[in-house]
Amino acid sequence: MKFRQTALALSAVLAVASLSQTARAQTDKPIIINFSHVVADDTPKGKAALRFKELAERGTQNRVHVEIYPNSTLYKDKEELEALQLGAVQMLAPSLAKFAPLGVGEFEVFDIPYMFPSKAALRKITDGKIGAELLAKLEPKGIKGLAYWDNGFKLMSATKPLIQPEDMKGLKMRIQASRVLDAQMRALGAFPQVLAFSDVFQALQTGVVDGTENPPSNMVTQNMHAVQPYATLTNHGYLGYAVIVNKRFWDSLPSDLRSALDGALKEATRYGNDIAQKENDTAVATMAASGKTQFHTQTPEERKAWRTALAPVAQSMEARVGKGLIDAIRRETESLPSD
Ligand code: LMR
């Protein structure tokens, strides 16, 4: 904790250092991209970040070095956004649920329950005009959005079986800092509690919270299944990321390096998005085999009951994320089949 505070206090110094790095771009010294994130290396995001490092270093003949700091080793959720704006790190891939502190609450549209009937529907949005327009909203904040990375659809886990939506009543549930996720838990009668990702395991272990929601890959790599005896494969919402960079840093790169990095990122994005589903499927199998968590697959009736319970969330969040945006996504995706 103390280290993190010190790290932030040093941000201004590091920002100056990062600008002087820019000035050094024409010399022999490599340019360093510090890439901070909060999950394990062995997750879709962790693996995509490592692939980006490999491709970026090769593609620039080592004129750029990418230093990856996984698992909140450098910064926790909110701090990493501040660090990026200050230039203390150059690259992040925060979950789309965490962009509101930058003043861009529209990203929380991705948190609306059952917003995307399938990965194909999601991809149509992130790869299309809406995805590009959302990333463009970051530019006035000094941030450039470069890509969308998948994790996957979320399950609900807790200390008790979650079969009907009523089973959520009264449970303390950890959420990411998103107003839509807050509304989602309240719609189920649960008590949402915002916690940084790095604090979740301990909060579950000590009973500070009773449960949480996550894609399976995040759950298994943080060992949450050791302290969550029940999980339901609800697939009620999506968790993915935007890869973002400090705009001043990015714009100051020599154009040949920037295009090599663009290429590396495109390939890392393809790779990460290709493996994400399999990583999550494997995570469920691993946790089920451990015998520590009992997984429940919903019947069509149960799924319908959860959908009904969560249906009011979209409407109640129209003012937050924009009715126009919700309607536009629905128009683009309604004809696509569900997974
Ligand atoms: C969470 O806080 O649950 C996730 O955003 C962590 C992550 O980056 O996948």
- Which mean pLDDT values do the consecutive 10-residue runs of the chain (339 residues) have? 46 45 61 97 98 98 98 94 96 97 95 95 97 98 97 98 98 98 98 98 98 98 98 98 98 97 98 98 98 98 98 97 97 86
The Cα angle at residue 15 between residues 10 and 19, in degrees rounded to 5: 150
Residues in the chain: 339
Q: How far is CA 104 from the centre of its chain?
A: 15
Residue 197 alpha carbon to ligand 1 centre in Å: 6
Q: Is 222 close to ligand 1, i.e. is its CB under 6 Å away?
A: no
Centroid of ligand 1 to alpha carbon of 133 (angstroms): 23
Closest ligand 1 atom to residue 197 Cα is 2
Spatial CB neighbours of 141, under 8 Å, sequence gap ≥ 6: 85, 102, 103, 104
60 lines ligand 1 (CB under 6 A): no
How far, in Å, CA of 23 to CA of 52, rounded? 23
CB 93 within 8 A of CB 70: no
Among 95, 153, 222, say which to mutate for ligand 1: greatest number of ligand atoms within 8 Å of CB: 95
How far away, in angstroms, is 38 Cα from ligand 1 center? 7
> 218 CB under 6 A from ligand 1?
yes
Q: List beta partners, residue 157.
A: 212, 231
Q: Which atom of ligand 1 lies nearest, measured to the CA of 95?
A: 5
Helix axes 255-290, 44-59, angle to 10 degrees: 150
Ligand 1, atom 2, residue with closest C-alpha: 197
Most informative mutation of 35, 39, 81, 174 for ligand 1 (most atoms within 8 A of CB): 39
Residue 106 CA neighbour count, 13 Å, CB half: 18
Quote the pLDDT of residue 232.
98
Extract the runs of DSSP E, i.e. beta strands, from the chain: 31-36, 64-69, 91-92, 143-153, 155-158, 172-175, 191-194, 211-214, 230-233, 238-246, 294-297
* Ligand 1 touching residue 66 (CB < 6 A): no
- Kindly give the distance from the C-alpha atom of residue 214 to the centroid of ligand 1, in angstroms, as a whole number: 8
Q: What is the pLDDT of residue 26?
A: 52
Q: Evaluate: CB of 18 within 6 angstroms of ligand 1.
A: no
CA of 106 to the centre of ligand 1 (A): 18
| C-alpha span between 107 and 131 (Å, rounded) | 10
Looking from the CA of residue 215, the nearest atom of ligand 1 is 9
DSSP, collapsed to helix, strand or coil, labels residue 118 as coil
Residue 145 confidence (pLDDT): 98
Atom of ligand 1 nearest to the CA of 97: 5
- Nearest ligand 1 atom to the CA of 212 is 3
Which H or E run contains 262? helix 255-290
Ligand 1 close to Cβ of residue 149 (< 6 A) = no
36 lines ligand 1 (CB under 6 A): no
Closest ligand 1 atom to 176 CA: 2
Q: Evaluate: CB of 39 within 6 angstroms of ligand 1.
A: yes
How far does residue 78's CA lie from ligand 1's centre (Å)?
11
Cα atoms in the Cβ-side hemisphere of radius 13 Å centred on 292: 15
Mutate to test the pocket of ligand 1, among 110, 185, 218, 244 (most ligand atoms within 8 A of CB): 218
